[in-house]
A and B are shown apart, each in its own frame.
Chain A
Amino acid sequence: MVILIFLFFVLLVIGLSFYLGNKAKTSSGYYAAGGKIHWSINGIAFAGDYLSAASFLGICGMIATVGYDGFLYSIGYLAGWIVALFVVAEPLKRLGKYTFTDAVDSKYNSRGIKLAAAISTLIVSICYLIPQMVGAGVLVEPLLGIPHFWGVIIVGAIVITIVATAGMTSTTYVQFLKGALLIIFSTVLVGAVLIRGLSTKPNQDGKVPFYEYKTLTGKMNGNQLTLDDSTWKVIEVQEVSSLKLGFARLAQNGAESWWVVTNKDGKVTLDESQYVAVKANGETWINGALSSPQNQLRQVGNAEQISGSKTAVTGSLNPFKFLEILSDKNTVVRIWKDVKITDKDGAKVTVYYPQFSEGSRLMRPGLRFKVQGTFLQQMDFVSLMLALFLGTAALPHILIRYYTVPSPASARKSTILAIAAIGFFYILTLFMGLGAMVNGTLNITDSNMAAPLLARSFGDFLFAVISAIAFATVLGTVSGLIVAASGAVAHDLMDRYLKVKMDDRQKVNAGRIAAFTIGGLAIILGILFKGMNVTFLVGLAFAVAASANLPSIIMLLFWKKTTSKGIAASIITGIVASLGLILFSPDLYRLYGLDPASAPVPFSNPGIISIPLSFIVLVIVSLLTYKPQMQK
């Protein structure tokens, strides 16, 4: 049943793409849908493009694991549309042709700009493609029961087929359909969450029994742990200094388990954790038994106390009451983190341990982005907010959509409709994320599945529909990105920079070959980046876009002394600075398997350095190369 509904949606999307693909006979049709899409269709298609895997899977997942800090992405992504509408939409429409490169090069006809802008489009699109492919992989894993990499390959293959056969007309209608369905069914999901209400012992309406995690007490004498309950035997205790926490390996009746140890004012408390241990002989053990289809990590997420009560069941709640209860100082939510350690027998152990957060702390920034931390941690927060604000208006696959409508006024109206649709959806993300956090539905190893798994707790139909829409979300976004990236290669690089002689048909074919190549690259990167939160990865793509593209767009529109060399230098500086800072940041060091503390760049979001730097380079190079006769 689940698979049938899922396949129905996916085949509908592909069928629609093939049907509409017949309209893409010219390069104008392929890249810009002939400039004839109605603004209302384009507005929802904007929403469809924008509400990517990062929004649906990533933001909900991040809210489910770190509370309000995940919602910062919703706020920032939406605020970015203000820059797009007020500063960029209409002027760019007046300048533009098919691509970002055409727009920034329209006044200059410079080969330097063509090369730099095409490279930028390509890099930003690929950075944005990675999280979409990661999202595709995690989506099909529980749905079809196949490994992550197969999900990535399937999405890659379908999207390459869609893009290579259809182009912008097809992706616009696919995005329209998907954007509308995503908003409708997310509203249904939020309604279901509010009707169910809150419980300290969520059991998915009786489908999955609630697991009561145990707490033990004891004493520490130096490194010696003694437990008050003598039926437990202490095997080892490890301190993790970077977390300022201890982890104890205990045994009872022959079954081993790991516990997180906290020592507050001499009172030692141990909270039961979950773990996966890969032993030296290759065996994988989960929570004290060999890994098997029946023995997997438990789904998690619950409120320990609801407004001070440890046994509360609220029943249906209105949206305000739902948020009020979760923001209460006397509401305590169990959230989960993980740490990798090696036990004394040489097994590689990942311990998933609980932390307890008051509602008042959970529902304001601070759990992930340390607004009360060191100066550098605070700057990381500012940097994120800056990149989210400025990134939207610089995304090539969003910019390209301005060229699909017939007039600047249509571009404006499309953008306003997009803001309404996207804004409404982003308000829903807070409810979906928090719903996933307290309904016992979270996959402890991958936050990206928070929303679909929350839907599964309400029945297979909603799960299948939500998963199919999420899958179509990935298909649609990846299609748009590949159109933008293939446009950069075939139109900007081959046709305009290298001046390869091609007729209109050959240009479309060149775009399709580029789409195959970029799609293949995206598949490989999607497999390599498995496990990272997709909205975090998209946040980085925003930073690259804001650094590389936005300074040139803004200065081109508002500063008459901007020169072609200034623009080219700014784009290259933005790319190099933002990518360089990201590649040497703590989060990427974690991905490489290195100690994040040893990363030379002490923060994860590069925007606060790379965006101003790109502006400064543009101004300096423009002033050095500006000649007054350029004005004439």
Chain B
Amino acid sequence: MLHKPAATGGKDPAASYKMRLGVWMFGLYLLFYAGFVVINLTSPQLMEKTILLGLNMATVYGFALIIVALLQALLYDWFCRREEKRLAGETSETKESK
């Protein structure tokens, strides 16, 4: 009993699609995150500049890193669900035609 999964999700036909999508989205976010680190190292004074609603670039970029993470997560979920539904539809159509 102990070596069985605590809960099994069954076979996931969308697994490879989701893995590719995840890697792409991770890459995009990584670039955004790396931009923050690089600006701080190369021109930290830029971070003091007021750019939006009276907030400086450090604050705006920091908040953006948090908000973009959530937006990307929601987008990822939307794409995943769409693909899961599409493949589920295909599977049921195949079963019906049989």
Contact = CB atoms under 8 A, between A and B. Distances in A.
Contact of B55 (A90, A327, A372): A327
Contact of B70 (A363, A381, A420, A504): A420
Interface in B1-60: 1-7, 9-10, 12, 15, 18-19, 21-23, 25-26, 29, 33, 36-37, 40-41, 44, 47-48, 50, 53-59
Given A68-B58, A75-B62, A371-B40, A27 B76 contact: no
Interface string A58-94: 0000000000100100110011011101110011011
Interface string A329-363: 10000000000000000000000000000001101
Contacts of A94: 9, 12, 15
Interface string A16-30: 000000000011100
A32 B3 CA distance: 13
Nearest to B12: A408
Given A75-B62, A371-B40, A415 B55 contact: no
B87 interface: no
A271 interface: no
Interface string B70-98: 10111011001100100000000000000
A34 interface: yes
B15 A412 contact: no
Main DSSP-derived SS at the B contact region: helix
A219 interface: no
A320 B36 contact: no
B6 A32 contact: yes
A31 B70 contact: no
A416 B62 contact: no
A141 interface: no
A298 B70 CA distance: 41
Contacts of B56: 327, 360, 363-364
Contacts of B18: 90
Contacts of A33: 6
B23 A87 contact: yes
Contacts of A26: 1
Interface residues of A, number: 71
Max count, chain B CB within 10 A of own CB: residue among A32, A360, A426 = A360
A96 B12 CA distance: 15
A416 B2 contact: no
Interface stretch (A204-212, A398-406, A537-545, A597-605): A398-406
Contacts of A416: 70, 73-74, 76-77
Contact of A364 (B12, B44, B66, B72): B44
B61 to A, nearest CB: 9
A371 to B, nearest CB: 5
A36 interface: yes
A387 interface: no
Contact of A320 (B25, B47, B53, B57): B53
A342 to B, nearest CB: 37
A398 B30 CA distance: 21
A358 to B, nearest CB: 9
Max count, chain A CB within 10 A of own CB: residue among B1, B3, B66, B72 = B66
B2 A79 contact: no
B52 to A, nearest CB: 9
Given A85-B73, A419-B70, A423-B70, A409 B9 contact: yes
B54 A79 contact: no
B66 A78 contact: yes
A465 B1 CA distance: 43
A381 B80 CA distance: 35
Contacts of B25: 82, 86
A201 interface: no
A420 to B, nearest CB: 6
Interface of B: 1-7, 9-10, 12, 15, 18-19, 21-23, 25-26, 29, 33, 36-37, 40-41, 44, 47-48, 50, 53-59, 62-63, 65-67, 69-70, 72-74, 76-77, 80-81, 84
Given A28-B6, A320-B54, A323-B59, 11 more contacts: A74-B66, A86-B22, A86-B29, A97-B6, A365-B47, A381-B41, A404-B6, A406-B7, A409-B81, A416-B73, A491-B2
10 contacts: A34-B7, A68-B59, A74-B66, A78-B66, A86-B26, A93-B9, A329-B48, A363-B56, A363-B58, A419-B73
Top 10 A-B residue pairs of the complex, sorted by shortest distance between their CB atoms: A35-B7, A324-B54, A32-B6, A35-B6, A86-B22, A407-B9, A364-B47, A364-B58, A86-B26, A423-B66
